[in-house]
Amino acid sequence: MNKTLRFLRSHQSDVSLVMMFAVGVIGLSSQNQLPVMPGAEMWILAKNLATRGAFANPFSALATGPTAVNPPLYPLILAGLMKVFRVPGIIYVASVLCAIIANAFTAALLPRASMIFSSDSVPGVFASLLWLGAMQSIPGWDTNLTIAGILLFCILTAPGPLAERNAMTRAVLGGTIAGLLFLLNPSSILIIVPWIGFLLLKSGRHRSTAIKQAALVLGLLLTFGMGWAIRNYFALGALVTRTNLGVTLYASNNDCAQSSLIRDELNNCYQTHHPNASLAEVEELHRLGEIQYDRTRTADAEAWVRSHGARFAHLTLTRIKEFWFPATENIPATIQFANAFSVPHYSQIWAHQQNRIARVMWLITALSLPGLILMARRREAVTLYILAVSAIYPLMYYVVVSDMRYRYPILWLSLLPAGYFLREIAEGRIFSFYRSSSPEQ
């Protein structure tokens, strides 16, 4: 085994290429077995951008005007694909290929991130192997691009042998990527800002350079964010970056709410509370305007939480568990709403696939816990960063319906400690380490 690990360390680039190839094969194979349907809002926005040049009308039931329900970058990318390829089938294939390529870059970047985290690429190789089982193509959302972008940002801004020589160039590139990530997924700021803080703490004798880099990165990030907020001020009347918090809270916390998105959809609860599927809700949004509607639904959700404290606590605790150990779902053959209707067979296949991925995520989470303990005991500096982001980032997702898509942007922060633990097992050091750490010793 030690010979194998030495080979992996000395052939990092080759290993990354093999991982990228494996991602491509698995991604294309899974699409052949079960094509993924694109998400509604992003594709509707992209179509409006491509045909009318307007970032507006994200809901199919009714035209509601300019919007900030979703961030702008991924619909812009999809709109670009629509402009270039024009044929719906080819546009879909192109979006899937973009997702697969992003997954491939994630697999290739994990060993490089591992070098930064623990000065060894092997934990990243094991992380890449686990990623092969956990990844999926999600062409309807920004997820795949966000994961690869965050990894690239962290690698690019990390200190290295040439840190002093090209510090400002890397800061400009890092700040640009950070700004684009914010426009892709605003929640990524909860991963980016702690990373900048970690780099400042770790900078040592390069503190003055690190401060300049951090200021430049944050300045560019703020510029991108403010540019989007100013657009929303003129289009919607408020300096905001997104307007979906209220409706998401409202659709997730009510009398019929379930813990997960799929279960909420299976009992028709989500559809009756969200403008995507409720004509009454989208008409109310149109009447009030997007900003006021978001504020009203936030107040409605808060009122429900205050009057249903025990139910909200139960939902929240379940969602905390499902964020780290995603729920497995059973989709029945027949669903009864106003009328009974049969569920297409491909939905059953899709649920089976999702449950398999959920179990891989369970494994990753379980392996990451002893990995983090080992990293903490060995004073791996990055442990503090992993713990900080793992504590902060999920908070917003603990109070809304759970969905595996929400976990992906920080899944790599579980993959690397899991890989760290697997490396210890492969090298046969794990049991001797715990023996030497026991109180009896």
pLDDT digits (tens, 9 = 90+) for 23-36: 988 888 887 655 55
Longest C-alpha distance within the chain, in Å?
72
Query: Does pLDDT of 434 surpass 90?
Result: no
Q: Which amino acid is at 17?
A: L
Lowest mean pLDDT among 184-193, 201-210, 331-340: 331-340
| Interval 112-130: pLDDT, tens | 999 988 889 999 999 999 9
Position 441 scores a pLDDT of 41
Residues in the chain: 441
Mean pLDDT of the region 385-401:
96
What mean pLDDT comes out for the span 221-246?
95
Q: Contact 8/126 with Cβ under 8 angstroms? A: no
Q: What is the arithmetic mean of pLDDT over 326-352?
A: 73
CA dihedral in degrees (82, 87, 88, 92; nearest 10)? -70
Q: What is residue 428's DSSP assignment?
A: T
Among candidate residues 136, 140, 137, the one with its CA nearest the CA of residue 47:
140
pLDDT digit string, tens, across residues 237-291: 999 999 999 999 999 999 999 999 999 988 889 989 999 889 999 999 999 999 9
Report the pLDDT value the prediction gives residue 229, as an integer from 0 to 100.
Answer: 97
CB atoms within 10 A of CB 87: 10
User: Quick one: pLDDT at residue 82?
Assistant: 95
Q: Six-digit token pair at 287?
A: 């009447």
Task: Using pLDDT thresholds of 50, 70 and 90, give the confidence band for residue 440.
Answer: very low
pLDDT (tens digit, 9 = 90+) per residue, 182-191? 999 999 999 9
Average pLDDT over residues 4-21: 80
Angle between helices 412-426 and 345-377 (to 10 degrees): 60
Q: Give Cα 190 to chain centroid, integer Å.
A: 11
pLDDT given at position 127: 96
Rounded to 10 degrees, the C-alpha dihedral 420/421/425/430 comes to 110
Q: How far apart are CA 336 and CA 267, in angstroms?
A: 8
Provide the pLDDT confidence category of residue 37 given band limits of 50, 70 and 90.
low
First-residue to last-residue Cα distance in the chain: 28
Mean pLDDT confidence for 363-370: 97
**CA gap 157, 171 in Å, rounded:** 7
- The residue type of 358 is A
Q: What is the pTM of this model?
A: 0.92
Per DSSP, 138 falls in state -
DSSP 137: -
Section 383-408 average pLDDT: 96
Q: What is the 3-state secondary structure (H, E, C) of 249-306?
A: HHHHCCCCCCCEHHHHHHCCHHHHHCCCCCHHHHHHHHHHCHHHHHHHHHHHHHHHHH
Distance CA 410, CA 402 (A): 15
Closest to 112 in 3D by CA, of 149, 154, 174: 154
Q: What is the pLDDT of residues 44-75, one digit of tens each?
A: 999 999 999 999 999 988 899 999 999 999 99
DSSP summary character for residue 240: -
Decide: 251 and 273 in contact? Cβ < 8 Å: yes
Q: Residue range 193-218: average pLDDT?
A: 89
Copy the structure tokens of residue 429: 């050091």
Average pLDDT, the chain: 89
Cα 337 to Cα 298: distance, rounded to the nearest angstrom = 27
Average confidence (pLDDT) over 166-172: 85
What is the reported pLDDT for 168?
Answer: 83
For 400-426, the pLDDT digits (tens) are 999 999 999 999 999 999 999 999 998
Q: What are phi and psi of 86, to 5 degrees?
A: 65, -40
Distance (Å, whole) CA 361 – CA 135: 10
Cβ 242 vs Cβ 186: under 8 Å: yes
Q: What is the pLDDT of residue 277?
A: 86
Paired tokens of 433: 């380490």
Cα torsion 244, 361, 154, 137: sign: negative
Indicate the DSSP class of residue 328: P
